[in-house]
Structure 1
Amino acid sequence: MQIERLRAWWAHRQGLDGTLQGADCADVLARTGWARSVGGSAPYLGLRARCGAGREEVDAAVAALVIHELPSARGCTYVLPAQDFALGLTVGAGVPEAELRSAEKHLGVTRDEVDELCAAVTGALGDSDVPLDPRKIKATTGDAVRSLGEAGKKRGLSSTLPLALGLLQARGAIRRVPVDGRLDQQRYGYVRWGLDSEDTSKIEDTGKLTPESARAELARRYFAWAGPASMAHFRWFSGVTAAAAKAATAGLDLVDVGDGLLLPAALQDDFAAYRTPKKPSYALVAGIDGMHLLHRDFASRLLDPADAARIAPDTKGRKTLGQLADSPSHMIVDRGRLVGLWEYDVDAGEIVWEAWVTPDAALRKAVTTTEAFVRDELGDARSFSLDSPSSRSPRIAELRARAQ
């Protein structure tokens, strides 16, 4: 199977070929997959690359709960469309439960005290639509929050409050509200949501949403977003065991199109008829964009062999790109192939980039329009919440030197 055609198909299904321009944010996420969020610019960059949405449009969709950032697959935070809120919460619910079991085992925490704290937290939030940050919640709930001392700090858990907040989020009882309404930071307040477990038991027309049926629903969505994809790809995305993945896909009509790559049968004719576009279609996206992260098979999927041998910028031991699991910087992709890297220089107000193809007018336009978007609407293009202009300065310097 030609990798060029596969890449172009994946980019097409991801809407990185212009076919989703003008679509609304929720529709894009429903059709191309949940957007990974770690307090960086990835959701903004990904939506803009697919449908042209500006920051105000994305923020308005978040404020209206048309889309929302929730802990979901593997307990990681993604931006989801409203139709997937219940599904995301259900598939992510095991992580806070596991954290509670670990705290019970190692820190002497009891479920009863956490349940009492959950009740205190929801009482503190009341019916107000004004979010309370964790500091105010702790002050309001008083002795219900217990410090876990040095032992807890060593395990990254200074008190029992994060346990309660995690459980309440997974149940849909509360939700996090980003400070200033922006997704590219990790400062939150909390408000009551009112989605009890019985209220999240419906998903479209599928009936009772159990952990098993939720995994099957996730599998159905995943292979529509990411197919052709292997069972290993699905297991990475979902975080489930081999047995659970087999059970989740048992009822799906998937066909093997070669090399163990599975595709929904409904897409088989479209896939067979698809041809790689002759013209380039450039997109500047985050390093954790779904184009990569839905499969997380970096070197073999996105890189040509010659590019895999390139030295990655600012890596210990001067690793090659092919030795990495993820992109070291934001990505420039063309029909699904990684053709360059970029970072944003806040001080200069510009994108610093290198390309492994000869830059043409289309590539330069993609860079300049993304640069204007970052400068005028985002202010920065952080990879994650702790990314900063100073921390990325070595990568910027190296990319700038390579571009000379």
Structure 2
Amino acid sequence: MMLRTEMPTIPIDKLTQEFLRAWSWHRQGLDGNLMGEDAASVLDRVGWARSVGGANIYLTLFARAGIRREAADRLVATQEIHELPTARGCTYVLPAADFAWGLQLGGASAEASVKILLRLGVERDEIERLADSVKEVLLRAKAAGEPPMDPRELKEVLGDQVRNMGEEGKKKGATTTLPAALGLLQADGRIRRVPVNGRLDQQRYSYVAWELPATGESDEAVRSRMVERFLGWTGGATTGQIRWFTAFTVAQTKAALASIGAVDVKTAGDDVLWMMPEDVSLMARFEMPADEDVHLLAGSDSLVLLRRNSSDAFDAAGRAAVTGMGGSALAADLSDHPIVDRGKIIGLWQYDPENERIAWWTFEPASKKVLKRIAEVQAWIGEDLGDFRSFSLDSPKSRLKNIAALDRLRSE
């Protein structure tokens, strides 16, 4: 590992927000350095892709490596990438090398559903017996060459072993005991859920037996690995940004940073970024690209979601342009998808499936490169996806207001 004394010193006035945006752009593979890689390699390099039933995963791969939906779906089918609950208990699409430790990282989240049932008077033994029964049913189905089973089919087979929790359970988000049992099994790698049509931009799942070996590592070691990977994906992050993504305590975060030899780098904006020493050397040699380089990304793309810092991607003109917009144009969670040039958000977009078009607006008149990229992504959505949903409950009807707003702003 490189020692602090061996690292180059980066002048603090170089580390402006503009420079750091371009640096993140580069680290996220949006400058073309991942073109031609497969989906697993992309996710390994730029970070896990948020799923939630939206199309972010597909645009993540298309923007960085030109990967089409069918190619990504094939890797899901062969388990080279997979959607799993991990950091903060949230679901991301991970490469196979990260399955076991990613599940270990998110294992505690499965206990949340169990705790609700415990408060409703269900004994833990009952939940664990149900989990064992589910596993037996899925093992028999797998041995017989039968397809994965959805929750309805499982309930039919399990009968009275699945308890209905009535109105009180419904109020607390625990209609039956089955989801908690499924959560425990998935967190241990004993089962996995698969999308019913093989696509990741929806949230209808079936379940199949799985035997994923445990890491054999301590939780402390896994936390250290998570922080090291996170710093590599982002090219540097503040303590607050690390803690938001990981949900680690202050003490856990400090211990992980110390164990991996991370170093602190102060920016021109007085932020302190934690970085891996080798990345400091790479940053010292990095030069901001002079030529326009445009992508349309999802609002949950790793560029802005990993550190939840989308507001940093607007310059002064962009901030002024979106001030007063409805929704959360400047909030951490974008209300529209961003049009980005070298890390800077220069416009917003939504997909209008009724008219098979992208509704868009840029803060300054759109260049030829912007128009070309919009046309490319519009064609890709039509050919590969049919629609571009932000999350499972997103629908053409729910985004009509945003589409109308973008059209109006563009015409003004």
TM bucket (normalised to shorter chain) is over 0.9
Say what the alpha-carbon RMSD is for the aligned residues.
1.3
- Look up the match of 1:261: 273
Residue 350 (str. 1) matches residue 357 (str. 2): yes
Structure 1, unmatched stretches of 5+, are 202-207
CA contact (8 A) 1:313 1:399 kept: no
CA contact (8 A) 2:313 2:345 kept: yes
- Look up the match of 2:320: 309
CA contact (8 A) 2:321 2:363 kept: no
Residue 100 (str. 1) matches residue 114 (str. 2): yes
- Look up the match of 1:297: 309
Please state how far the C-alpha of 1:312 moved relative to its aligned partner: 6.5
Correspondences of 1:269-288 after superposition (within 5 Å): 269-288=281-300
Which of 324, 348, 351 is the aligned partner of 1:341? 348
AA aligned to 1:298 is S
Residue 46 (str. 1) matches residue 60 (str. 2): yes
1:227-268 alpha-carbon deviations (Å, 9 max, x no partner): 221111110000111111112222112222212111110111
CA contact (8 A) 1:39 1:185 kept: yes
The 3-state SS of whatever aligns with 1:331 is: strand
CA contact (8 A) 2:23 2:235 kept: no
Aligned identity (percent) is: 46
AA aligned to 2:377 is T
CA contact (8 A) 2:51 2:91 kept: yes
Residue 361 (str. 1) matches residue 368 (str. 2): yes
- Look up the match of 1:204: none
1:278-299 alpha-carbon deviations (Å, 9 max, x no partner): 0111111110100001100221
AA aligned to 1:10 is S
Which of 211, 231, 234 is the aligned partner of 2:239? 231
CA contact (8 A) 2:104 2:219 kept: yes
Which of 229, 233, 242 is the aligned partner of 2:250? 242
- Look up the match of 1:388: 395
The 3-state SS of whatever aligns with 2:174 is: coil
1:186-233 alpha-carbon deviations (Å, 9 max, x no partner): 0000000112xxx222xxxxxx32221111111111111112211111
Residue 219 (str. 1) matches residue 232 (str. 2): no
CA contact (8 A) 1:40 1:384 kept: yes
The 3-state SS of whatever aligns with 1:251 is: helix
The 3-state SS of whatever aligns with 1:310 is: helix
Which of 168, 177, 187 is the aligned partner of 1:151? 168
AA aligned to 2:235 is G
CA contact (8 A) 2:89 2:107 kept: yes
TM-score normalised by the chain length of structure 2: 0.92
Tell me how far apart the structure 1 counterparts of residues 324 and 333 of structure 2 sit (CA, whole Å).
13
Which of 7, 13, 25 is the aligned partner of 1:11? 25
CA contact (8 A) 1:313 1:395 kept: no
Number of aligned residues: 389
CA contact (8 A) 1:91 1:211 kept: yes
Tell me how far apart the structure 2 counterparts of residues 343 and 193 of structure 1 sit (CA, whole Å).
38
CA contact (8 A) 2:116 2:174 kept: no
Which of 379, 388, 392 is the aligned partner of 1:372? 379
AA aligned to 2:254 is K
Which of 41, 50, 53 is the aligned partner of 1:27? 41
1:304-338 alpha-carbon deviations (Å, 9 max, x no partner): 1232233479736xx6x33x221111111111111
Residue 120 (str. 1) matches residue 137 (str. 2): no
Tell me how far apart the structure 1 counterparts of residues 60 and 137 of structure 2 sit (CA, whole Å).
36
CA pair 329-23 structure 1, distance change in 2 beyond 3 A: same
Tell me how far apart the structure 2 counterparts of residues 355 and 342 of structure 1 sit (CA, whole Å).
9
Correspondences of 1:157-176 after superposition (within 5 Å): 157-176=174-193
CA contact (8 A) 2:296 2:340 kept: yes
- Look up the match of 2:12: none
AA aligned to 2:18 is E
The 3-state SS of whatever aligns with 1:347 is: coil
AA aligned to 1:227 is G
Structure 2, unmatched stretches of 5+, are 1-14
AA aligned to 2:356 is G
- Look up the match of 2:209: 192
1:104-124 alpha-carbon deviations (Å, 9 max, x no partner): 1x2112110001100111111
Tell me how far apart the structure 2 counterparts of residues 383 and 63 of structure 1 sit (CA, whole Å).
23
Which of 59, 64, 70 is the aligned partner of 2:84? 70
TM-score normalised by the chain length of structure 1: 0.94
Tell me how far apart the structure 2 counterparts of residues 213 and 164 of structure 1 sit (CA, whole Å).
27
